[in-house]
Every structure is written in structure tokens, then in C-alpha cells.
Amino acid sequence: MTDIKSLNLEELTEYIQSLGEKKFRAKQIYKWLHQDFVTGFDEMTNLPKDLREKLKRDACVYVVKPVKVMVSQLDGTRKYLYELNDGNIIESVLMKYHHGNSVCISTQVGCRMGCRFCASTLDGLERQLVPSEMLDEVYRIQRDIGERISNIVLMGSGEPLDNYDNVVKFLKLISDENGLNISGRNITLSTCGIVPLIRRLADEKMQLTLAISLHASDDNTRRKLMPVANKYTIAELLDACRYFFKATGRRVTFEYSLVAGVNDMESEAVKLGNLLKDINCHVNLIPVNPIKERNFKQSVKKDVEKFKNVLEKYKINVTIRREMGRDIQGACGQLRKSYKDNIEGNGKNATEKHNKKEVEW
């Protein structure tokens, strides 16, 4: 079956012609899929019935089905648990800001990066998401709330660069002028730091914001938190960031999750200040969101403020991430994990099923 929503207009045109149909049908279908967000061929009412039947036999429209939606009473944040065609579960989040509606999407089912504080990686990687599924995470929400989605962040479950081709295709489709037309400047891709793929992304020259999950200012501390640090040093990572800036002109964001007693001390802030002071960047401090499977503790407010003040002395642009949807809280991947564990019986099956949970760097 052809995954029709993952095709760009050119590919769709070729496909439609291969079915012996006229070229202009591709434009009509593309609009139905990417502007009207239909979920099946029967809704494409300006297509002849025999073409709809042909498409039904040969292609499919991948959709995500909301199985649970949680709405914050505090700030309107919405968390969506979606079921995919094969029964897998993923999550997406809608955050309402004064500058627009932002959707945080998952890029993989699970993750194999193994970051110690993250719930998304606990059961390993189940499978890659295809572009149509990532698009539908956004389309469903826009349909649901009846308002335009203006910003996308790739910060849900999964490592976007570990699903490189599908993610790049998704980025091109979501910013296509015949689709949702979201400008690259309103898209942020967050990565744990796979150095060669950061360079490859830079070469795509897309105008997006790159966010790097740094979380430490020396390799030893970083290795305790993130296995990927065994493969690439911070020096190599920062070099790739400089390359990205040179290639795209886009300032890089560094995410730094503060874990009490591990990376939140004043001395660590000084080290981070020295490391980043010459880079045109933005630092986003995130008090770690503790997950029950690990015993990392969140930094206290006073330490977070102190950390920020130190970085500001180095003239670094710093923000503390505002916590959205506190009443429906759950760190990255926690909602999916608890839903899955309930269904599978405390996650026992999940753990047995995945014998290779992490990449060995």
C-alpha cells in the first residue's frame, strides 16, 4: 500500500500518473490531505468515484487516533495519546502561547538513546514514525481545536536524527506552501547530539532552530546522564553547532536539564559559562522532571536562579523553561509509558520484548 500522505507534490503527481490519471488530480488530493486534513478517500468529494475506489485499493491515509486527551485547567495545554494503525501508542502536546499554538511531536515510537532521566527510552525503540504519522500528530490537533498551529517542536518521544530521512521529509512537508506552510523559523528540532547528522542537517540549509540537549559542561558528567556522550565529545558537539550556525545563520539553543547534586552546582554553571561564552546561543534551563524509574531529583528554585545568574554574568542569553500543564504533568514519554504499562501489565511484556534497548556507542 502506498503511504500517500508521506509523498510530496512531485511524488504524488508521479504516483497519480502511474495510475493512469491526469496530473491535476494530484493537486486536488494534496489539498485534501494537507489543507483539509481528511482521513480517507471518501471525503475527497471532487474525485470521480472510480478513482476513489482505485486509491482505496492501492493506497492508504495514515492517521493517528486519539485514545486519550488531557486538558490542563491552568493554561489550556493538551496532551494527546494517539494510537497508530499498528496499535502502537505515541504522545503529542499542544501548548498555547501568546505568540501562537505550538505542538510538540514524537518522532519515534520509544527511543534507543538511553538518556538516564528520560521516560521515553525506558523500553527502547519500538519503530520509526513515517512522515504521514508525524504530520497527522499536528493535523489532528489543528482539526480538534479549530485553530491554526503556528509552531512545531520536535521534542516529544524519540531522537529525531535517529529517524533522519523521515524527519527531514516531515519538515519539508509541514513547511510546504501547499500544506500547513509553517516557516522553518517556527520549527525547533531537539537532538541529544548525533554529531555527523547535525552536520548533515546543517547542509540541508533549512531555517529551523536546532536545540541541543547538552545537560553537562564536561564529558564525564555528560556520560553519566547520556550514553551518546560516550561516542561524541562536547568539543565535537560544539564544533558541529558552530558549523550549523555558519551554514544556516540560525542561533543554536542549548537545553540543560538541572539535576540536583549532579549538574546544578554553581561550579558547573561557571564551567558552562566558559564553554558557551563565545558561541552565539541561547540556553534553556529545565528543572529535571523526576520519573519514578530513576532517582534523579529536581533542583530547588533557588539553585536554578543562581545557575541562571552565573550564566548571565557570561552575557549568555538564558531562560528557565516555563512549566506548562502542571496539573496534567508528566515528563517526556511518561504518559505513554504509564498507559502502556497499564495495558501490558506493569510493563513486564515490554521489557521482555526488547532485549536490545539502547544503542551501544
Q: Which three cell numbers stand for residue 213?
A: 540537549
Residue 217 Cα distances to 139, 144, 190, 250, 353, angstroms = 38, 42, 18, 22, 36
Residue 210 vs 310, nearer CB to ligand SAH? 210
Residue 59 vs 155, nearer CB to ligand SAH? 155
Q: Is 332 a catalytic residue?
A: yes
Which runs of E-coded beta strand occur in 214-324?
Answer: 252-258, 281-287, 317-320
Q: Which three cell numbers stand for residue 128?
A: 520509526
Residue 54 vs 294, nearer CB to ligand SAH? 294
Q: Shortest approach of ligand SAH to residue 107 CB, angstroms?
A: 8
Interface residues toward ligand SAH, by CB under 6 A:
113, 115, 117-118, 155, 159, 190-192, 213, 255, 257, 286, 288-289, 291, 331-332
Report d(CA 283, CA 279) in Å as an integer.
11
Q: Is 323 a catalytic residue?
A: no
Helix, strand or coil, per DSSP, at residue 261: coil
Q: Shortest approach of ligand SAH to residue 150 CB, angstroms?
A: 20
In this structure, are residues 314 and 275 in contact, taking their beta carbons and an 8 Å threshold?
no
- Which of 115, 118, 192, 332 is flagged as catalytic? 332
- Which of 91, 126, 159, 255 is flagged as catalytic? 91
Report d(CA 123, CA 33) in Å as an integer.
33
Q: Which three cell numbers stand for residue 103?
A: 505542538
Angle at 208 between CA 173 and CA 109, to 5 degrees: 60
Q: Shortest approach of ligand SAH to residue 106 CB, angstroms?
A: 9
Residue 13 vs 102, nearer CB to ligand SAH? 102
Q: Shortest approach of ligand SAH to residue 280 CB, angstroms?
A: 20
Within 8 A by CB and 6+ apart from 45, the residues are none
Instruction: Please identify every residue annotated as catalytic.
Output: 91, 332
